[in-house]
Amino acid sequence: MNIWHIAMKDIRIFLRDIPGLIYLILTPIIVIAIASFALSGIFADDEVERFSIPLVVEDEGELTNQLVDVLQETSVLKIIKTTKDGKQITRQEAEKLVPEYKAAIVIPDGFSDNVAQGELAELIVMSDPADRVIPGVVHDILSQYTAKLSMQSVTNEVAIEALMHITELSKAVHGVELDPTKEIQSVQEKSEYYVENPPIQVVTNVVQGNDEARETTPFESNVPGYAVMFVLLGTTAAASSLLDERERGTLGKLQTLPITRMSILSGKMLANFTTALFQMFVLFTVGHFVFQMWLGPSILGLVLLIVATAFAATGMAMLIASVCKTRAQASGISLLIVLSMSALGGSWWPLYIVPDWLQTVAHVTLTAWAMSGFNNLLVYGQGFTSILTSITVLFSMGILFLILSVRFFRFN
């Protein structure tokens, strides 16, 4: 019963700390909401975030009109052709707008004629050197269009040259003069048709992790990610309070009572673990009922994963408190460790975007194992068996951390 009494004492003290409760619950909810709504355009099926791009039109040919139509129909671009006073944008004006819009497109004079004559034709993308995303998107869109034009131009040139060669050869050998006009027209029509309807196409099929198709939102990854980070911050702060008690002599007084050292530490661990569980369950509950976050195909798996994560976080926090001499030292070290683990382990961004070697290194952290399990359940819709490894590793980490914390902790 001594362990339970010590844990309840710490929990009652914490519940009286209103600012602490606000930090525990409200702060992560605000961060999750801001981060998720900021990324909501990426996940929307019916509406994609559009980039406003200035367009300078210096050519008046038919191909230019077609290109402008293509750009205006592109779902990720919002083309700006005129200034506020209704005049067409010039190159000089576009250069001034690039720092604001990050990119601009220029269709130079003679573009249509050069393409029709098979000569070098250029489209210009003005880019902001500080941005690596928007100019790349614009360049890729233009490259897709110019690849079609290039294919049509090359096809026409090769076919026409072959027809003219056959005509000359027929006249020289057989004395028969042929008129290839019809055949040239047919080649041009067919090449134009196949440019618009390519015989080889790439089709993208979205693979659902479960049988029922569902819309993925940012909350399926952001709620677990930030929940793990704030739980780590909360548990390390709570465990560091042990150092306060040691400095004030409270732990020394507890040793004079008929309580074992193991019971004292176990009681502190239980209080810390209970607080971490409470925080994670509240955040996931808010994520589900307020933000409509999907809870995955296995509620039992989700609960066990939350428990394992809270247990591992508690063990790590107790270990930090055990090896540090003062609370100030523990606060600095824990902040460095938690932020590093959050960035490295996938709380802030998915691990698949980082190099392979860094993904391997990341799995020395409990954050990576926790996020791997949560992603399997909530993002990919996989079942209970997909998270067994994560749960096992997290519980193993927690046990190892707790054994080491008991071994290294000093009451005086």
Domains of the chain are: 2-40+219-408 (no CATH), 51-196 (3.40.1710)
* pLDDT at residue 250 in the model: 67
130 burial via Cβ count (<10 Å: 0-12, 13-18, 19+): exposed
User: Average of pLDDT values for 23-35?
Assistant: 68
Structure tokens at 130: 């500080």
Q: Per residue in 128-180, pLDDT tens?
A: 887 777 888 899 888 888 877 766 666 666 777 777 777 887 777 777 777 77
C-alpha 363/C-alpha 108 separation (Å) is 52
Torsions phi, psi for 137 (to 5 deg): -65, -45
More confident site: 357 or 411: 357
The secondary element (H helix, E strand) that includes residue 284 is: helix 261-289
pLDDT band at 300 (very low <50, low <70, confident <90, very high): very high
Lowest mean pLDDT across 96-110, 187-201, 205-219, 260-274: 205-219
C-alpha 256/C-alpha 386 separation (Å) is 48
What percent of the chain lies above the pLDDT cut of 70?
75
C-alpha Rg value of the chain to the nearest Å: 32
* Helices (H), ranges, 249-260: 250-254
Render the burial of 168-196: b for 16+ CB within 10 Å, e for the rest: eeeeeeeeeeeebeebeeebeeebeeebe
* pLDDT at residue 270 in the model: 84
What percent of the chain lies above the pLDDT cut of 90?
19
DSSP SS3 for 175: coil
* Helices (H), ranges, 39-180: 40-43, 62-73, 91-101, 111-116, 134-174
Is residue 150 within 8 A of residue 116, CB to CB? The reply is no
* pLDDT at residue 392 in the model: 96
Rounded to whole angstroms, the maximal C-alpha distance in the chain is 121
More confident site: 330 or 404: 404
Our CA dihedral for 34, 37, 41, 43, rounded to 10 degrees, sits at 110
Q: Which of 148, 146, 180 is nearest to 161 (CA)?
A: 180
* pLDDT at residue 211 in the model: 45
194 Cβ contact list (under 8 Å, min separation 6): 155
pLDDT band at 213 (very low <50, low <70, confident <90, very high): very low
Q: Left (φ > 0), alpha (ψ -120 to 50) or beta: where does 296 sit? A: left
**CA 335 to each of CA 233, 235, 240, 297, 320: distance values in angstroms, whole numbers, following the listed order:** 7, 11, 12, 34, 11
* pLDDT at residue 92 in the model: 92
C-alpha 191/C-alpha 153 separation (Å) is 9
The secondary element (H helix, E strand) that includes residue 256 is: none
More confident site: 59 or 130: 59
Q: What is the pTM of this model?
A: 0.64
299 burial via Cβ count (<10 Å: 0-12, 13-18, 19+): exposed
Is residue 115 within 8 A of residue 122, CB to CB? The reply is no
* pLDDT at residue 332 in the model: 80
Q: Is the pLDDT of residue 204 over 70?
A: no
Render 180-241 in DSSP notation, one character per residue. Answer: THHHHHHHHHHHHHHHHS-SS-----PPPSSSS-----THHHHHHHHHHHHHHHHHHHHHHH
Is residue 125 within 8 A of residue 105, CB to CB? The reply is yes
Q: Left (φ > 0), alpha (ψ -120 to 50) or beta: where does 103 sit? A: beta
Q: Per residue in 232-248, pLDDT tens?
A: 888 877 767 777 777 66
